[in-house]
Amino acid sequence: MKSKIQFILSMVIFGTIGIVVRYIDLSSSERALLCSIIGCLFLTLIFFVMKKKISWNLVKSNALILFLSGIALGGNWVFLYQSYDYTTIANATLGYYFAPVFVMLLSPFVLKEQLSIKKIVCIIIAIMGLVLIVGEGVSASKTKDILGLSYGLIAATFYAALLLLNKYIKDMGKLELTIIQLGITALLLMPYVFLTEGFGMFEVSSSSIPFILILGIVNTGIGFWLFFSGMEKLKGQSIAMLSYVDPFVAILISAIILQEEMTLVQMLGGALLLASTFVSEIKLPEFSKQEIKTPTK
């Protein structure tokens, strides 16, 4: 029960990222940089309080994948935060939750995994859901919404890449891995932020500072800590089911707290998208023997 509570709390924390980001008067890349620095420092403190040590030999042996995963994590955050700036939290979240579909599409080629009939059906339904969300936005001539949703999809692409890259990282603990990835992300974002945004980050408004600390300590540090602590004793199917607390919280915040508009058609599209990715992650016996192979080059 403790593990479930920890995991659910982490999902609730992740679901509030959108509203926290809205109150930070910085560019998306600056937010991502501060988030990675503060999160890395906080988790490093937790790591040493737990009397654990980073295995630098493992870091060295996984160096290339860790570097690429740091790029993926940074890109994920930059475009996700950008998405929140252009569209509703609900739309940004739904676009971002297309990541499992990208993973399903790429798995046969990257991981040489078989693509089941169930997953193919789920991919088709997810695409239908996305078309409903985007199509409604186009019909309403909401250019910013379409742009925001596009940023969400790009963030989902980076997140899918991160998930696939993590499959190739060997023998590293989840908390240790996160600390290293956050550190790499911070190092990679520093020159990019200073070249593109200058040093304006140090002139941030005083009203943004509490939200920067919340984003770094709570949404990143505590969120990831609870996430990994909770998932250690949970089964894969439980993790898949409880993961949908995140978009549920985000959509509730969008609708109730921020009172952002979402049409019935978009709601239907969102339901199709989330339901398809949910079904793709749970085991259904009737599909277990119906698998087809996707040809690889």
Segment 155-202, tens digit of pLDDT: 999 999 998 999 899 889 889 999 999 999 999 999 999 998 887 777
> Is the pLDDT score of 208 beyond 70?
yes
Q: Buried b vs exposed e over 101-134: b needs ≥16 C-beta within 10 Å?
A: bbbbbbbbebeebebbebbeebbebbeebbebbb
Predicted confidence band of residue 51 (pLDDT cuts 50, 70, 90): confident
* Four-point Cα dihedral 167, 171, 173, 177, nearest 10: -60
- Of 58, 14, 90, 84, the closest CA to residue 256 belongs to 90
Residue whose structure tokens are 């089941």: 116
> Is the pLDDT score of 35 beyond 90?
yes
> Is the pLDDT score of 59 beyond 90?
yes
Q: Are the beta carbons of 39 and 212 closer than 8 angstroms?
A: no
State the pTM of this model.
Answer: 0.86
